[in-house]
Structures are given as structure tokens and as C-alpha cells.
């Protein structure tokens, strides 16, 4: 019987990768994930607002 080889996949990190990234014990940054999410939400809101203002 032939052995199947695992093909490497380089893609975006999953939830486990993100948890490990923010885990201080694993050597991750000491930033709170909610801070990052808040910054992303602010960027999205500013982009939507500026796009709406440009259409007027």
C-alpha cells in the first residue's frame, strides 16, 4: 500500500495560530487581541466614512 505524503500548505493562520501569536508564554506580544480588533474596526469605519463622503 502506498503511503500518502502530507503536502505543505502555507496559508493564513487559523484560530490556534492566532491564540499562540498573542500568548505571552509562547513569546508573543503583550497586546490584547481586543485592542487589535478595535484598531481594525476603526480603520474599516474610517474607510467607509471617507468613501461615503467622497460620493456626495
Residue 56, pLDDT score? 55
Task: Give the span between the Cα atoms of 48 and 40, in whole angstroms.
Answer: 12
Residue 18, pLDDT score? 66
Task: Give residue limits of the domains in the chain.
Answer: 15-55
Q: Where are the alpha helices (DSSP H) in 1-56?
A: 15-22, 33-55
Residue 41, pLDDT score? 92
Residue 42, pLDDT score? 93
Residue 35, pLDDT score? 84
Per-residue pLDDT of the chain (56 residues; tens, 9 = 90+): 555 555 555 555 566 666 666 666 766 667 777 888 898 899 989 888 887 666 65
The number of C-alpha atoms within 13 Å of 33 and in the hemisphere containing its C-beta is 10
Residue 21, pLDDT score? 67
Q: What angle do CA 10, 16, 20 make, to 5 degrees?
A: 100
Amino acid at each position: 500500500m502506498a503511503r500518502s505524503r502530507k503536502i505543505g500548505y502555507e496559508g493564513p493562520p487559523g484560530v490556534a495560530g492566532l491564540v499562540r501569536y498573542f500568548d505571552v508564554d509562547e513569546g508573543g506580544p503583550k497586546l490584547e487581541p481586543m485592542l487589535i480588533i478595535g484598531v481594525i474596526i476603526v480603520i474599516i469605519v474610517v474607510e467607509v466614512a471617507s468613501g461615503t463622503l467622497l460620493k456626495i
